Every structure is written in structure tokens, then in C-alpha cells.
Amino acid sequence: MEITSFDYDYVIIGSGFGGSVSALRLSEKGYKVLVIEKGKWFKADDFPKTNWDLRRWMWLPKLGMQGLFKLTFYRHVAIVSGVGVGGGSLVYANTLPVPKDEFYNSGHWNGLANWQEELKPFYHTALKMLGAEKHPYMSRSDKAMQQLATNWGRPEAFEKTDVAIYFGKPGVTVDDPYFDGKGPERTGCILCGGCMLGCRYNSKNTLDKNYLHLAQQLGCDIIAEKQVYDVVPLNEDGSAGYEIKYKDALSYFPKKGSVTAKGVIFAGGVLGTVDLLLKLKQSSLPNLSDSVGAGIRTNSESLIGVTTYDKDVSYSEGIAIGSIVNIDNSRHLEPVKYSEGAGFWRIFMAPMVQGKNFFIRFYRMLKDYFLHPIDNLKVFFVDDWSKRTQILLYMESIDSALSFKRNWFGGMKTKVDKGTPPTAFNPKAQEIAHEMEKIANGKAMVMSTETLFGIPTTAHILGGACMGADVESGVIDSDNKVFNYRNMMVCDGSMISANPGVNPSLSITAITERAMSKMPVKNEHPDFN
């Protein structure tokens, strides 16, 4: 099949950090670009006021829930992710840390480049584009983190985060403060703590307000509520282009459509990209590396909520994550919060215990209920769980990995890969949680899926289309190009080839900026002329 005129030069599947960067930079270089996103376009009024509004918050479209938040369970990990135009930026905590040294010299990409030096200018660009600003306030949760660091005799370990938020004057709207008037109006943050529900006050610098906004001004097309299900090369290696097939994402009886493009970029996040690549390897893209699905990482995270017994204390005021404690070069701790009334997670919480199997943990959970009935009742019946709870996000850059494989039903399943599998019972995280119990005068609780089934939860699923020196060792090369196919790239969290140990959004942005910097302008690209 030979096509002489394509609908687009590049089709980008997904609109998160990698997809948004790709959309803008390719548009700047003269390419005709289409972004396809399975989630919805959201305006400020579309976001839920609390996460009890499941229809607006959660993404389960077949059940009528068409929100921006997705919770997915696998055997070895539970994953929280974002859905919608802007991808994970809609629900992430705005935090933009640069990883420590270990990230650049470990994992699948080790030795492919001098990553720390090469990425420095692109981290700078990413911080500027995302409107990063040092968090200027000290909330109760930040003071608690500062107290922890002081108790350890390392007050210097505490620092404020760089965050993608416009602070300005609280509640005051101004003309675009970032892009010489080319961007949208912004409004000063009112410190409501609702960042991860979708910002209803126009303060969060989500991707639809920077990269995607600017890309549209250059002619980039974005279609929402469409899910790509097939990418068909028009010849063996895709040098003749691709047909990208999609269907309605919200319909029980979806209509289908397709477009043609000279190139394609997978940017649907790990759950989108890896799932699609695994399917396509068995059909339309058989020459993909056998490494598809390998090297899945979780940042070795622990999420623990410490609920205070004090009725006059609020942990909701501020931003989602306003500070970080650098425990050492490999381990970090951040305080996480939701706005008042957003206590949906309380129904999942259970006592924090350890044990080798379900029966031991179940016994210890019952024992905790029996020995501490008053404390458990106080936590269970707390008037406002989100307001009274300090959530601890503990992360490690120590490498551990899973892999995704196809299951019998056409979806994905997890399997333990090289390294230590992620655990729900990290001893250091639990030790810190017990220290926080004293500071907050409260009780540490975790997801019941952790207590009962030993399944850890992560907000930072990474890998599955890792970099390698060749097709035997990776899915993509050091410039994000897919082995064995022309004009095909992966630019999202699935390209991350080592545990950053910190929030990965900035790194996804910076690595994609680097990849796009290597793309020629259209009139200098031999395949596009």
C-alpha cells in the first residue's frame, strides 16, 4: 500500500508530559501533528470538588465514570494514574525535582550517554516551560517534615519543592505570566490543597496551559475521547508510513476511524503504551523488541496515611506536595495532601502491619483492632479524613523491577523481573510513619490491599519500553527511536529506564525535550520531503 499524501506528518498517542512536549516541538519544526487522547477535555468547572464525586473523579467509562483519575490493580502493584487532555498533569502533585546522581548511572540506559550532563539544559527548559517556582509557604505538613529532619539531626535535609503552580496574588487573575502573552490567563493559588483533584482555580500549570496550548496555536490538532487500538505500518519497517486506527473511548458500541501519518509517537503512559505495544507485537508490529514490557519500575514507593486524633488540626491547607526530605541520595520523603472533604481513601484504610503471608497479616490486623480499639475507632470515624490526615510518600531510587506480559483475556499481568520486587512493607517507610505518629499525635494506616494482599501502591509507574544499545537489550535507542521501525518513537514514562527515586514528571519532560531537539526541521528531514 503506497500513500503519496498523508493526513499528518506525526500522530501522537497520548497527551501527557511526553506527548505534549512532542506536540509542541514537532509543530515548531513545521510538522503537521495530531494528538489522540482517550480521556476528556476538562475545564475548571468539570473537576470534582471532592473525590467522593466518583462520576467526575474516577475513570471507569463503562460504569459512567468519566473523570481524570484511574486506579488499576495488578498482582504485584496497584497503580494510580491520570486520564484526560494533559494526561498525568491533571492529577499529579505539581512537584518537579531533579533526580540524584544514581538515576543517571543505573538501569537499562546506563552507559548509553552521559545522561546527567546531557540532560542538564533540558531540565532547565522543562522547569521554565512548566512554570516551576519554589513553594513559598509553610503549611502544617511542611512543618511536620521539617520536624522530622530536625529530629534526625539533619535539618538541611528538608527543603521546599519546585512546583508547577502560579502563586501570584491568591485569587487574582492576570494575563499570561509565562509566554509573552501567548499563554492563557492565570490565577493566584488559594492554597486549597485540591491539586490532585484537578485545579478548579486556574493556578496549576497543567499541560493544556503550556505545551499543548502553544502547540495548538501552531496548528496542532487534538482529538479527545478516542482510543488508539492499532498502528499498521504500510510496509515492513514503516518507512512508507502508518495507518493509525482509533475508536470512541466512552461508547459501548464505539465508532471507529483512522488517519495516516508518516510517523507515530507512543505517549500514552505505561498503562497505555505498554499495553498497546504488547498487543501490536502479536499483530501489526511483530518486529518490536522482545523487551517490550520489561523493566517496569515503581520508584519503590510507600504511601502511608497518618491520621491525627486532634480535632482542631488541618493538613489540607497548602498545595498537594510543598516540601521534600532528602533522607540520603537514594531515598526521599514527601508530605501529600487532599483538600477538605476529599476523604474517599478512608474506605480503603487498614492498620499498618507486616507479615510473610495473608494469614499472618490478617491476624496482626485483627490484633491491632483488638489492642487499640479506641485509636482505630477515632481514625475510622474521624470527622474529615483528608483534613486530619498527613499522607507520607516515601520513594527509593534503589532499583527493583517487574514486567508486564499479556494475559489470557488480552490485557496485562505483572511478573517479577530482575531485581527485588516492590514491597508493601518497606521497613524504613514504616519506621518514619511511626515517628510521624508522634509528631502528628495520630495513627498510621495503609491501603487494605497492602495489609491483606501485600500489594504496594504507586503513583509513578515507569518503564516497559526501556532504552537499550540494540533491539536485544531495549525497545528504543538513546534518542527514543523504536528499534526496527522508521519514524516511530516512545516518549512517556515507559521510556524511563532506571528508578529516579523522586517524582518523574520533570524527567519525562526533559528526556522528551532532548529527543525532540534531535529531530530535524521538516524541510530538512529526508523522509518528509
Per-residue pLDDT of the chain (529 residues), as tens digits, is 566 689 999 999 999 999 999 999 999 999 999 999 999 999 999 999 999 999 999 999 989 999 999 999 999 999 999 999 999 999 999 999 999 888 999 888 999 999 999 999 999 999 999 999 999 999 999 999 999 999 999 999 999 999 999 999 999 999 999 999 999 999 999 999 999 999 999 999 999 999 999 999 999 999 999 999 999 999 999 999 999 999 999 988 899 999 999 999 999 999 999 999 999 999 999 999 999 999 999 888 899 999 999 999 999 999 999 999 999 888 899 999 999 999 999 999 999 999 889 999 999 999 999 999 999 999 999 999 999 999 999 998 777 678 999 988 888 999 988 767 788 889 999 999 999 999 999 999 999 999 999 999 999 999 999 999 999 999 999 999 999 999 999 999 999 999 898 899 999 999 999 999 999 999 888 888 7
What residue type is assigned to position 42 of the chain?
Answer: F
Which residue has 536485544 as its cell numbers? 472
Q: What is the model's pLDDT at position 371?
A: 95
Neighbours of 381 (CB within 10 A): 9
User: 515 by DSSP, 3-state: which?
Assistant: helix
Q: What is the pLDDT of residue 527?
A: 84
- Render pLDDT for 424-448 as a digit per residue (tens, 0 to 9): 889 999 999 999 999 999 999 999 9
Pairing state of beta strands 8-13 and 256-266?
Answer: parallel
Judge whether 76 counts as a catalytic residue: no
- Phi and psi based region of residue 424 (left: phi greater than 0; alpha: psi -120 to 50; beta: remaining): alpha
pLDDT at 440: 95
pTM over cut 0.85: yes
Would you state the torsion angle of the CA atoms of residues 346, 82, 203, 335, taken in this order, to the nearest 10 degrees?
A: 40
Domain ranges of the chain: 8-528
Would you state the torsion angle of the CA atoms of residues 280, 285, 289, 292, taken in this order, to the nearest 10 degrees?
A: -10
> Alpha-carbon distance 428 to 372, whole Å?
23
- CA dist., res. 475 & res. 490, Å (int): 9
C-alpha distance from residue 194 to each of 37, 280, 341, 431 (Å): 24, 38, 10, 28
The answer to whether the CB of 510 falls within 8 A of the CB of 122 is yes
H or E, element range at 70: strand 69-73
Q: Residue 383, by phi and psi: left (phi above 0), alpha (psi -120 to 50) or beta?
A: alpha
Interior angle at CA 329, CA 270 and CA 438, nearest 5:
95
Topology adopted by domain 8-528: FAD/NAD(P)-binding domain (3.50.50)
pLDDT of amino acid 1 = 56
pLDDT value at position 40?
A: 96
> Cβ(82)–Cβ(16) under 8 Å?
yes
For residue 3, the model assigns a pLDDT of 66
Q: Is 396 exposed, middle or buried (0-12, 13-18, 19+ CB in 10 A)?
A: buried
**Cβ–Cβ under 8 Å, residues 301 and 394:** yes
Hey, what amino acid is at 289?
Answer: S
Which residues, listed in sequence order, are joined to residue 187 by a DSSP beta bridge? 173
Contact 528, 15 (CB under 8 A): no
- pLDDT given for residue 408 in this prediction: 87
pLDDT value at residue 5? 87
**pLDDT for res 400:** 65
The single-letter DSSP state of residue 63 is G
The CA angle 65-67-71, to the nearest 5 degrees, is: 85
Task: For residue 508, give the nearest of 13, 17, 94, 14 by alpha carbon.
Answer: 17
Residues 325 and 332: beta-carbon distance below 8 Å: yes
Q: What is the pLDDT of residue 370?
A: 95
pLDDT digits (tens, 9 = 90+) for 16-25: 999 999 999 9
Q: How far apart are CA 490 and CA 263, in angstroms?
A: 11
Q: Which one of the listed residues 76, 213, 332, 460 is annotated catalytic?
A: 460
